[in-house]
Each structure stands twice: as C-alpha cells, then as structure tokens.
C-alpha cells in the first residue's frame, strides 16, 4: 500500500463488514457495530472531559485496527490514550506474530509497539491496567506527560511537554484534552474554555524526523487537523471525513534501509 493506496483503503473500507468478520471488539467490550451518533448534545464532550473514559466508537476503532493490519504498521505514536490504545496494541500484536522484520533487515528498536501519551494520571493507570488484563502489556508503553498551552509560529495551540524518542509509522492524534493544559492567569486567551476547539502542534514539531510513508490520523478535531495541514512543510496526501482526517507523507524513500521497510509495507 503506497500513499495513494492507503487513502483509498481508508475511504473504501466497509467498516461494519470488517468489524463483523474480525474478533477484536471483545477487547474493549463492543459486541456489535455502531456508527457515530449524529444527535450529540453540544456540551457532551466538554462536560465529560476528565470524568469517565469516553465510550468507544466502533467505526473509529475498526478503522485503526484494519489500517494497522493492512499497512503492516510497526510502531505507533498516540497522542491521548484510551480504548484506541488497546485496539492498536492488539493489531500490532497480531502483526508481530505474522511478520519477522529482523529477517527482512528492517531497523526498529521496539518493533510492533505503541507509545501512548496521556496527560491525566488516572487514565494512564486505567489504560495500563486494561493492557495487562488483555495480555497487551509487552506491546504498549503508556507515558504520562503534562500538557501546556503554547504557540506555534505565533499561533495559539497546545502540546505535550515531552514525547518519547521514536519514529512511528502511524501517528494517532486524540489529545491532549484542553482541560489538561496548565495555564497561568495571564494567558492571552484560555484554551480551557469549552467554546474553544482544541488545537495541537506536537506533530508539527516532530515533522522533520518523520519517514516518508508515515500515516497520521486525527480523530475528530477537524479544526485541529486543518491547522496541522496548513502548517506542515512536507508533501502530504490527505482525506477529510466527518469525524476523522488521514494524512500520508508522500515522498521518495531515504535509502536502502528505509526502502526495505516501504517494500515490506507496500506489498
């Protein structure tokens, strides 16, 4: 799957059929496929932030699982942990049982592993415990990192204070929550306010180290995905739907080792 094929796969996949033919839903307690609700209360998200973990959306989780399996992803960097962490870890575990990248000469220190960033300590504990309960702990590292309000090229946004040193094939953006930003009273504007959409810049900071072929998914947060797209400096293909945006770094391979990885993932 080259960059164009990745976009095509995500646009055309029958999510309900894939969910019903797979058996990963039991990991997060989903017994049947449900689509995203259209009659959402306008204050649901902001009022629930920081409380009980959001209920999983089967269409979003199915897309993630299917893409990791089809694209043969090796490493994932997730901004904002949750049920998605478990689903992506399960997909990576399945990949690890099917593929031996060392024999292919692909260089990865932690193959088939997800690094998940979380700005709320209670979610770090909840997700970590859920990974252990499902036998996924060897494929997941949940990292607590404080979030802060900042600017990127004089544009207001948020970011994690520290992220792991890794080079992911897939980046999944669903955090941090604005409520996690530790703002001072003299901020020009307060992004904790429930009327302000969440804007983040983490991926813009690490864009230079990403390898061609890297896939990025923004879960909801369409204003955020458009902010990211406007500020990206490299050649990305993108597709925006109602509740998610996917982008693929479409550039030539960097050398022999990188070409090996793309040959593995494209075929």
pLDDT tens-place string over residues 6-50? 999 999 999 999 999 888 888 888 888 876 555 555 545 555 554
Collapsing DSSP to helix, strand or coil, 93 comes out as: helix
Residue 128 counted as domain residue: yes
Neighbours of 178 (CB within 10 A): 22
Residue 38 counted as domain residue: no
Tokens (6 digits) for 101: 């990248």
pTM of the model: 0.90
Angle between helices 58-71 and 83-98 (to 10 degrees): 20
Q: Which domain holds residue 7?
A: 1-28+56-103+111-145+154-189
Of the listed ranges 30-44, 82-96, 106-120, the least confidently predicted one is: 30-44
Confidence of residue 128 (pLDDT cuts 50, 70, 90): very high
Residue 119 counted as domain residue: yes
pLDDT score of 184 more than 80: no
**How many domains does the chain contain in total?**
1
């Amino acid at each position: 799957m080259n960059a164009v094929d990745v976009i095509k796969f995500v646009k055309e996949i029958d999510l309900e059929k894939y969910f019903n033919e797979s058996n990963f839903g039991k990991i997060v307690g989903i017994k049947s496929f449900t689509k995203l609700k259209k009659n959402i209360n306008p204050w649901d998200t902001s009022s629930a932030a920081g409380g009980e973990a959001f209920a999983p959306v089967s269409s979003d989780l199915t897309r993630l699982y299917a893409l990791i399996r089809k694209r043969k992803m090796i490493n994932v960097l997730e901004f904002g942990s949750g049920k998605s962490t478990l689903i992506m870890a399960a997909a990576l575990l399945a990949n690890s049982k099917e593929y031996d990248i060392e024999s292919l000469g692909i260089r990865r220190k932690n193959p088939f592993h997800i690094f998940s960033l979380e700005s709320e300590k209670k979610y770090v504990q909840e997700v970590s415990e859920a990974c252990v309960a499902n036998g996924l702990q060897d494929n997941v590292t949940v990292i607590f990192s404080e979030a802060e309000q900042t600017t990127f090229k004089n544009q207001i946004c948020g970011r994690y204070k520290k992220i792991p040193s890794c080079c992911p094939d897939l980046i999944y953006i669903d955090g941090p929550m604005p409520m996690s930003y530790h703002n001072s009273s003299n901020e020009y504007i307060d992004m904790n306010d429930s009327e302000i959409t969440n804007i983040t810049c983490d991926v813009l900071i690490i864009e230079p180290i990403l390898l061609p072929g890297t896939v990025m998914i923004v879960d909801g947060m369409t204003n955020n995905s458009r902010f990211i797209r406007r500020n990206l400096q490299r050649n990305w293909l993108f597709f925006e739907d109602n509740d998610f945006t996917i982008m693929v770094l479409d550039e030539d391979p960097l050398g022999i080792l990188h070409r090996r990885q793309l040959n593995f993932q494209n075929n």
